[in-house]
Structure 1
């Protein structure tokens, strides 16, 4: 047979054996089965939510097992034969286990015990004492290609695996190490990306140690998109298996870090901006030693072809439109955003043939050759990016049934120099390079016009350019008053093809953008944490609710909110939110957002983060054009927790008229160190309540010393209790000590 992809040359002939296999002999009687109980021997509470997987070890056929919840056992009826069972359990920040065992069924029921005590820790370490475990994935590869996985986890999770192996199995582990003490404001300067495989028989020790000098080394930079934003850098080791798991490292983008990687291993990577945008950084294999540095996320962000060029094509009398990578970078990395809205329209001869609200559609068309117009628009308003808020591509191309495969659409490769780490222009000119091309053919492609705008496309100015290689270059001095620069580029080829591409906010300018309002959309009544102060200590989690109202004559399509602290374009604190809206009527929606601080120690590592945080809130209209975005729509005051030690009044008991000494200590959460430190030179109120009374009275004000200590004396008058009270200040919460009762005689 011959294999010939659409629109490409025939491939060499392949030979294949044909004919049906011989029929298997009929089974005359069902084989006897025996009750087999699989038991997890573990005191780990997460074992009650185990998953158990079973294979016939002679054929490596998978056998389903019922996994009852809240149970350490599972039961299955098995015919005589050889079997292999695996169980896995664990949960966030709790040790993870992957237990396996081979067993044989003969002629009776039995219990197969998977003992947690038999498992050994699996981990990858390095000769860098500052490195600590950040994330790991552990799995077992079976002879038939099936996998048991994925064990492992993040932060303090350790993973334990049974070392007794079975022929044909391979144990693999992928581990990420970062620097101890890493926080959002003190990111790890490096990332170890380590991989190791153990084939049967497994060694008794599953701890692998690498020398940093023997690893591959490179420096990676991921640019931001006009703003600082939470994000992740994620990687997965590729072994040709049917699936894998990405391990993520939390980052504040933009970010630059050194990578140390196991050499010779294929690693697939991507970066995530905010909650919804992904930049596919492709597969990479690094040799041992130093490799050149790379930078991803360089603007302007613009559409790119799909990773395997399986985008829009013709199949018979159908046009299969698939253009869903609208946020690629200048290095050719593919990008997409789950929060973006897409519209597609195909026309011919002035007549609309079909429209779609996604990035793809299939259209039935005549067999004859004709000229088509394809228009696609992606729009978004997201917390993780200020750029590429609208990307519009308007193609003209010719297609007929005689030409199959990839459509002859034009593409534009855009690159820039002169932008900073957040893709913002400064005082120096920005140089743009644009290279046109046409898919599938060698058509001569030419840039006809480049235009730029600083008012989101309300007005356009021609940008002169000069020929450079296969494309053109242009230099743009961005005005100091510009918050954003939009680009509109027109290209043609010698086969009648054309592309006009508009990228609204292709890159940012030196200025900070004002609130945005298009149409009659409003965002109002923003309330965060019910208007109350958020007091945070040195660890744990916190959850904050926010509400707001959005209105538009056509109704509300979408809305969002995030918190920021510092400067809007370069905040030192950012917290994203999950937002949902419920229609109140045809024009108004009630919106709610949940802000989850998943690790106070990580997210609040600077005392400068105390004070007022601001909410950026937005809403879009159902008509597709209305938008309201208020950068400071509401506020949340965040304070450091203070503590007062129990008041201690001495001596006890005391005679009336004698002196009483009362002491305590005032401390405050130090987010920089993760401890409670002395709060010095603060005025604290001493209060007293007489025995049987209902109201505390103020006795005096006492100042804390350099160690936060409070010491004062009073004259004993009657039985009662003393306590200290600290009133809140702009950055610190108030505190009340536990009282001390004193007996006056």
Structure 2
């Protein structure tokens, strides 16, 4: 499979230590530099809020301590993800707080994950205008007309924060507008049609009003005087059957199809959202999506949550007071498991309706302890749900299971699901071994599991990754293996039978005692480099394991147990078939191994385990070959526990 594959240089761990890779034009930064590569795309803002770029172009926010109701918007006028906390917006816009420390994309390009501690020399060196890098501005012309725009909040006053810019239809020119204490901005523009991207509002602690919309205006042969009145904005609300449901997050996304204008806001449950009468000069119209998460009161005997999406494919709906009965939703009994110990946990889901032109996934994480059960009600198919669940509170040790780029749909009615499940194995993130124009990109998944709808990884691993051809070592990396995307330099014509070896260890801790040491060795045919901005998936596959009776990382020691193995290509478009599989287990953390008889059917196999008395953990090892001749040796110490 070939696909366009762009990553930014500084976010890639260079395993060869030779030269940096550059797959993104520095003049047009890739807005999601690491998530599609499976890399560590997380930044802690100076406020303590954690922002993670998600595969597929979205963003997840985990508020800092005491900031559960914080609000955020993505700064306009740039392809970068600049996440502006609403309670810091005025200080950032004025320059009192350094806006560069909120540019998540730019920080990641420089390999910086703690914005407050990032050295000034590693911050974006472009000139900033308010929240974002300075825009191109307007061309000087005697024919320009004066354009005056006045903003009023819900109470007729000047808003406390603004993110407003104009964008010229049919061109790339745009400019961020600065408003005075009276809410007035003045600029000069040549004749033409323009869209206004509008986000403004008021802020009090972690609550306030968020007003957003898209407006169009035309400059001809006279000055333009335009007033945007927040009192005309319509409130956006959602009502559900559970009358005690408490709003946790709200978001409103709008996109002017056929232009480069969109507005995206994301807040906690205490903000009120309003949408202005919205119209774009772009002929394709405007797409709209309101997403909200509601939960049962803290300490409820039967916890529940609502994950809802209300789309408008053909413009903003006339009525923004949404109401949905439970009978129209998917009602999924959900088991949020632990990985062996009671722990803090969280989830972050974003619903994206198809065919509405909005691919931006954003969510604020909801925190809770595991193990625990709750009923989760989703807007059913065709809405696709993206996001992740996590176990552990520490950035250095947490384990994350993220849904695939394609997302998950739920049919209306009852259902069941489990998150954070064991057994655990080692694998590859989606497209985790890719041949690119300058080398081989590598992203192992140190904590993979059987669930086909998600990819898992854990932090706290260190070890090595080595690429060889026969007896010749082509590159070697030693250090942290926390899901960081990396790569080895290769000449474009380099090809042949390569061996890739990953060896990572992690200490047992208060998040999990499982998967303390995983290794994998892949032998595969590496092709020559594809085009300059393309990548090709190599034939490197892995084995995942499921085992009956495993709950919260453990199974019953005294019972015979059926296990299921499945051989998977790292990308479903690479159609390889398993030809041979060997399965071994260890009950002494890998000091000795016993081969287990299996029954294989195609790419799947089953076996029965009779655990010896006193065994505490089950470690697994697989040796496999597929019909391309690619070979795999894969081992995980403490795949799951026994009680």
Q: Name the residue aligned to 2:378.
A: 261
**2:348, 2:364 within 8 Å by CA — same for their partners in 1?**
yes
* Residues 514-593 of structure 1 aligned to structure 2 (within 5 Å): none
Extract unaligned runs of 5+ from structure 2. Answer: 4-138, 479-483
CA contact (8 A) 2:293 2:305 kept: no
C-alpha deviation, 1:159, in angstroms: 0.9
Q: Tell me if the contact between 1:341 and 1:379 (Cα under 8 Å) persists in the aligned partners.
A: yes
Kept in 1, the 8 Å contact 2:330–2:379? The answer is yes
> Offset of 1:267 from its aligned partner?
2.2
Which residue number corresponds to residue 151 of structure 2?
40
Equivalent residue, structure 2, for 1:252: 369
Give the aligned partner of residue 208 of structure 1: 322
Residues 256, 280 of structure 2: 8 Å contact kept: no
Match of 2:566 among 425, 435, 440: 435
Shift, 1:138, TM fit: 0.7
Residues 181-224 of structure 1 show CA distances to partners (whole Å, capped at 9, x for unaligned) of 225x8673233423232744752x42111122122333333322
Report if aligned partners of 1:451, 1:488 keep a CA contact under 8 Å in 2.
yes
Structure-2 residue corresponding to 1:295: 418
Alignment of structure 1 residues 207-606 onto 2, 5 Å = 207-238=321-352, 239-263=356-380, 264-274=382-392, 275=395, 276-282=398-404, 283-290=407-414, 292-307=415-430, 310-314=431-435, 320-332=440-452, 333-337=454-458, 339-341=460-462, 343-357=464-478, 359-364=485-490, 371-381=497-507, 384-399=511-526, 405-436=536-567, 440=574, 442=576, 444-454=578-588, 456-457=589-590, 459-470=591-602, 471-478=604-611, 481-492=614-625, 497-510=630-643
Q: Report the CA distance shift for 1:365/1:70 in structure 2 as closer, same or farther (over 3 A).
A: same
How far off its partner does 1:475 sit?
3.4
Residue 53 (structure 1) aligned to one of 165, 182, 190: 165
Cα distance 1:271–1:60, how it changes in 2: closer, same or farther (>3 A)?
farther
Paired with 2:351 and 2:317, the residues of 1 have a C-alpha distance of 20
Partners of 1:368 and 1:162 lie apart in 2 by: 56
Matches of 2:268 and 2:462 in 1, distance apart? 33
Question: In 2 relative to 1, CA 194–406 (structure 1 residues): closer, same or farther, beyond 3 Å?
Answer: closer
Partner of 2:33: none
Cα distance in 2 for partners of 1:71, 1:391 equals 61
Structure 1's 53 and 226: CA in aligned 2 closer, same or farther, altered over 3 A?
A: same
Offset at 1:123? 1.2
Separation in 2 of the partners of 1:110 and 1:481?
Answer: 82
Secondary structure, aligned partner of 1:392: strand
Once the two structures are superposed, the pairs formed by residues 677-716 of structure 1 within 5 Å of their partners are: none
- Partner SS state of residue 159, structure 2: helix
What is the match of residue 37 of structure 2? none
3-state SS of paired residue (1:385): coil
Higher RCO structure (Cα 8 Å, ≥6 apart): 2
| Maintained 8 Å contact 1:344/1:359 | no
Number of residue-to-residue matches in the alignment: 476
User: How many Å separate the matches in 2 of 1:393 and 1:69?
Assistant: 60
TM-score of the two chains, using structure 1 as the length reference: 0.57
Normalising by the residue count of structure 2, what TM-score does the alignment of the two structures yield? 0.65
Q: Distance in 2 between matches of 1:493 and 1:225?
A: 32
Provide the secondary structure at the position in 1 that maps to 2:425. Answer: coil
Whether the aligned pair in 2 keeps the contact of 1:304 and 1:411 (CA below 8 Å) is yes
* Distance change >3 Å, CA 44–CA 220, structure 1 → 2: farther
Structure 1 residue 29: Cα displacement: 10
Is there any run of 5+ residues in structure 1 with no aligned partner, and where? 7-27, 511-745
- Within 5 A, what are the aligned runs for 1:166-177? 166=280, 168-177=285-294
SS in 2 for 1:133: strand
Quick one: structure 1 residues 366 and 59, their matched pair in 2 at CA, closer, same or farther if it must change by over 3 Å? Answer: closer
Is the Cα–Cα contact under 8 Å of residues 448 and 492 in structure 1 kept in the other structure? no
Q: CA deviation at 1:330?
A: 0.8
1:225 aligns to what SS in structure 2? coil
CA distances 1:115-162 after superposition (whole Å, capped 9, x unpaired):
222222101212332323221101222132545332341122221121
- TM-superposed CA distance for 1:467, in Å, is 1.6
1:193–1:98: structure 2 CA closer, same or farther, 3 Å change rule?
same
Deviates more, 1:369-378 or 1:43-52: 43-52
RMSD over aligned Cα atoms = 3.7
Structure-1 residue corresponding to 2:51: none
CA 1:208–1:61 in structure 2 vs 1: closer, same or farther (change >3 Å)?
Answer: farther
Corresponding residue for residue 600 of structure 1: none
Kept in 2, the 8 Å contact 1:330–1:414? The answer is yes
Change (3 A) 1:353 1:117: same
The 1:46/1:293 distance shift into structure 2, 3 A limit, reads farther
Q: What is the DSSP-based 3-state SS (H/G/I as helix, E as strand, rest coil) of the residue aligned with 1:293?
A: strand
Equivalent residue for 2:238?
Answer: 124
Cα distance change, pair 244–47 in 1 and its aligned pair in 2 (3 A): farther
CA distance in 2, matches of 1:88, 1:315: 40
Determine the C-alpha separation between the residues in 2 that align with 1:343 and 1:96: 48
Is 1:197 aligned to residue 312 of structure 2? yes
- 2-side partners of 1:100 and 1:423: how far apart? 53
| 1:374 shift after superposition | 1.8
Distance 1:497 1:200 in 2: 51
Whichever of the two has the greater Rg, that structure is: 1
Flag the 1:63–1:220 CA change in 2: closer, same or farther, 3 A: same
SS at match of 2:448: coil
Aligned to 1:682: none
Name the CA distance, whole Å, in 2 between partners of 1:235 and 1:206: 22
CA distance in 2, matches of 1:344, 1:413: 21
Residue 188 of structure 2 corresponds to residue 77 of structure 1: yes
**Residues 152, 158 of structure 1: 8 Å contact kept:** no
Deviation, 1:227, is 1.7
Q: Verify the 8 A CA contact 1:89 1:97 in the aligned structure 2.
A: yes
Cross-structure match for 1:543:
none
Per-residue deviation, 1:237: 2.4
C-alpha distance in structure 1 between counterparts of 2:148 and 2:613, whole Å: 74
